[in-house]
Amino acid sequence: MNIEINFQSHVPIYSQVKDQIRHLINTGELQPGDQLPTVRQLAADLRVNFNTVARAYRQLDDDGIISTQHGRGTFILEPHSQKEAEQLRQLDMQRLTHYYLTEAHRLGFSPEEVRALFEEKFKQWMEDGEPPSEK
């Protein structure tokens, strides 16, 4: 399970953790029933206080995405319905877009610049049939 925190982004750490776990679920990398790392384990991996991870877990629990169980661990829940799963996927896409725009903004890019770069990469995607990679 790969989660990465951007400490320079001003997006709160607990929020980044929440978003990325939801994303891992929506892409199927985390399956219902799977156990998440313990708050201390994940916190150690991310070099973050475990209360910060606990906060993310608690909010995901409140949202009915995962089940945190005192002394036992935390686990991925089943989506309540197919319709809800689709909603979660849409929300994930929204968050992805928000993150893209806010980070671009933080890096000092104007909307027009962002759009230009987006269009460029988008065109490549259309031509190649798959999104551009890191190289």
Write out the residues near DNA by the rule CB under 7 A. 10, 12-15, 36, 38-41, 48-52, 54-55, 57-58, 61, 68-74
Instruction: Residue 108: name its binding partner from DNA, a copy of itself, none (Cβ under 5 to 8 Å by kind).
Output: a copy of itself
Question: What's CA 48's distance to the chain center, in Å?
Answer: 17
Contact 103, 9 (CB under 8 A): yes
What is the C-alpha to C-alpha distance for residues 34 and 53, in angstroms, rounded to an integer?
A: 17
What is the C-alpha to C-alpha distance for residues 16 and 122, in angstroms, rounded to an integer?
A: 25
CB of 63 to a copy of itself, least distance (A): 10
Contact 3, 17 (CB under 8 A): yes
Instruction: Residue 121: name its binding partner from a copy of itself, DNA, none (Cβ under 5 to 8 Å by kind).
Output: a copy of itself
Instruction: Residue 80: name its binding partner from DNA, a copy of itself, none (Cβ under 5 to 8 Å by kind).
Output: none
Distances (CA, A) of 57 to 10, 52, 75, 110, 124: 20, 9, 10, 35, 38
Q: Residue numbers of the site for a copy of itself (CB under 8 A)?
A: 7-8, 10, 12, 15, 23, 26-27, 67, 69-70, 72, 89, 92-109, 111, 113-115, 117-118, 121-122, 125-126, 130-134
